[in-house]
Amino acid sequence: MSIKNLLRFILVFIHLDVTKNLKYDRLTKIIMRRLLSDNSNCIDVGCHKGEILESILKYSPRGHHYAFEPIPYLFNQLEKKYKNKALIYPYAISDKAGKSSFQFVKNAPAYSGIKKRKYDIAKPDIEKLEVELRTLDEVIPKNTKIDFIKIDVEGGEYDVLKGAKRLLKKSHPVVVFEYGMGASDYYGINPADLYKYITEEVGLNISMLKSYIRNKKPLTLNDFVQHYNTNDEYYFVAYK
């Protein structure tokens, strides 16, 4: 484990939330620990280096797991590390199959995505890749019940969810997803449209991670739009 990853692990372990991302990581793992059983089935969209996949395998070692990472070197690392433990795919997940350009931010890979977005670094070094698009409804077997999904795709979350409509309506998984200003707005996504899709078309509630853990009431449409517009929260959980 690198020094950076070790420090991150220690901060999460002692609940010291130096950044919002560390807080969201910690809360996501609390949700997973409470939700997942030995044989739960999970999906990790935007697997990156496998931090969440690692926890999935810890909590559900007998489940069927699917991870997606289109950046070639990260995909190769994941495939080598998790061979025979999870199915790793080099696809960018969206609402349709096909091909797409992909913005690989070489000096900040976590910002990479299908579209350019706001980057919190001075000089992003972007290499355009061509990636294969797939939908979750296409890849995940129809008879597989999914219990948990994590989505972190730098603005393309709505497209991922639209391409998983059958799966979401059938399995009603718990979905932890990033959705915030500076990324999703570059996809032209209206927060009201996302909220209505999840709550009305799919039939799930939406909460902030901490509120879900504390069993508080789900967000209203106005709540969700306000959080988006102020950008005070950018990780949410959808659930039945």
Q: What is the pLDDT of residue 122?
A: 85
Domain layout of the chain by residue ranges: 3-239
Q: What is the pLDDT of residue 18?
A: 54
Q: What is the pLDDT of residue 231?
A: 93
Q: What is the pLDDT of residue 93?
A: 98
Residues paired with 236 in a beta bridge = 177, 208
Between CA 85 and CA 54 the distance in angstroms is: 10
Q: What is the pLDDT of residue 20?
A: 84
Six token digits for residue 205: 């509630």
Q: What is the pLDDT of residue 14?
A: 45
Angle between helices 20-35 and 51-59 (to 10 degrees): 20
pTM of the model: 0.90
Between CA 17 and CA 155 the distance in angstroms is: 23
Residue 240 per-residue DSSP state = -
Burial of 129 (0-12, 13-18, 19+ CB in 10 A): middle
Between CA 147 and CA 173 the distance in angstroms is: 4
Strand pairing of 205-208 and 148-151? Answer: unpaired
- Write down the CATH superfamily of domain 3-239: Vaccinia Virus protein VP39 (3.40.50.150)
- Low-confidence residues of the chain, pLDDT below 50? 11-17
